[in-house]
């Protein structure tokens, strides 16, 4: 189903729900990589890497352009997602590097 195939709000919601069933597992998998990064970084100040953030956003914008997506929307989504993952990675760093 594509958005153009939707004739009702219920169709739209069904399409969104189907996408969420694909997106959420990928976000969980991404979180696994983020957690591992937090475990591998020796210093907490390495959790935030501005150059890496800009690289990830730039790649996402290229993908958005390739797929005809709204680049402003994708940038906002990615920056918000990255901020959430930074908070998650910081907590993972603390767990891995703080002695009880």
List pLDDT tens digits, range 42-70. Answer: 999 999 999 999 999 999 999 999 999 99
User: For the chain, what is the radius of gyration of the CA atoms?
Assistant: 17
Superfamily for the 3-97 domain: Chorismate mutase (1.20.59.10)
All structural domains of the chain with their residue ranges: 3-97
Q: With contact defined as beta carbons under 8 Å apart, do 41 and 47 qualify? A: yes
Q: Determine the average pLDDT of the residues in 85-96.
A: 97
Distance CA 7, CA 25 (A): 28
pLDDT at 1: 87
pLDDT digits (tens, 9 = 90+) for 10-19: 999 999 999 9
Query: Taking the alpha carbons of 47, 49, 54, 59 in that order, is the dihedral positive or negative?
Result: negative
How many CB atoms lie under 10 A from the CB of residue 69? 14
Res. 100: pLDDT tops 80:
no
């Amino acid at each position: 189903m594509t958005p153009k195939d939707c004739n009702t709000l219920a169709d739209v919601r069904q399409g969104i729900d189907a996408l969420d069933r694909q997106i959420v597992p990928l976000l969980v998998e991404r979180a696994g990589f983020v957690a591992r990064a937090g475990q591998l970084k020796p210093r907490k100040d390495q959790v935030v890497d501005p150059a890496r953030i800009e690289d990830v956003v730039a790649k996402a914008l290229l993908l958005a352009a390739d797929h005809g997506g709204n680049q402003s929307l994708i940038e906002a989504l990615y920056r918000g997602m990255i901020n959430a993952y930074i908070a998650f990675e910081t907590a993972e760093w603390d767990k891995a590097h703080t002695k009880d």
